[in-house]
Amino acid sequence: KQEVTQIPAALSVPEGENLVLNCSFTDSAIYNLQWFRQDPGKGLTSLLLIQSSQREQTSGRLNASLDKSSGRSTLYIAASQPGDSATYLCAGAMFSGGYNKLIFGAGTRLAVHP
């Protein structure tokens, strides 16, 4: 069974803290890993995409790493701000029947308070 697990399910931190969100996957057929942000009741915004040939990707205060051998990815958020409050989802891409699809984790709900 294809599974993507995210830990922790929820996180509440004061502004300014550095954070690590974890994602693990069981299927070695996952060939890239993507992190999304979702605001309440809204669609998904792609943050970072890491191909299996890459180890990490960076965008501003965000850094994501991928270790395919251990089936793990982490999203690092530096100097968190209240505007970072959202749900963060990781998704693994895999081929099925010759075409790709995304397998999502349940997300980590992040609250950053002033």
- Asked whether position 46 contacts another protein by CB under 8 A, the answer is yes
Q: Site map for another protein, 51-90, x if CB under 8 A?
A: x-------------------------------------x-
Interface residue with another protein among 41, 59, 76, 85 (CB under 8 A) is 41
User: Which two three-digit tokens encode residue 75?
Assistant: 């999203």
Nearer to another protein by C-beta: 3 or 15?
3
Task: Map the chain to HEC letters.
Answer: CCCEEEECCEEEEECCCCEEEEEEECCCCCCEEEEEEECCCCCEEEEEEEECCCCEEEECCEEEEEECCCCEEEEEECCCCHHHCEEEEEEEEEEECCEEEEEECCCEEEEEEC
Interface residue with another protein among 26, 28, 45, 59 (CB under 8 A) is 45
Number of shown-chain residues binding another protein (CB under 8 A): 26
Only one of the segments 14-22, 41-49, 53-61, 76-84 lies at the binding site for another protein (rule: CB under 8 A); that segment is 41-49
Kindly report whether the peptide bond that precedes residue 82 is cis, defined as omega within 30 degrees of 0.
no
Interface residues with another protein (CB under 8 A) are: 4, 6, 32, 36, 41-46, 49, 51, 89, 91, 93, 96-97, 99-107
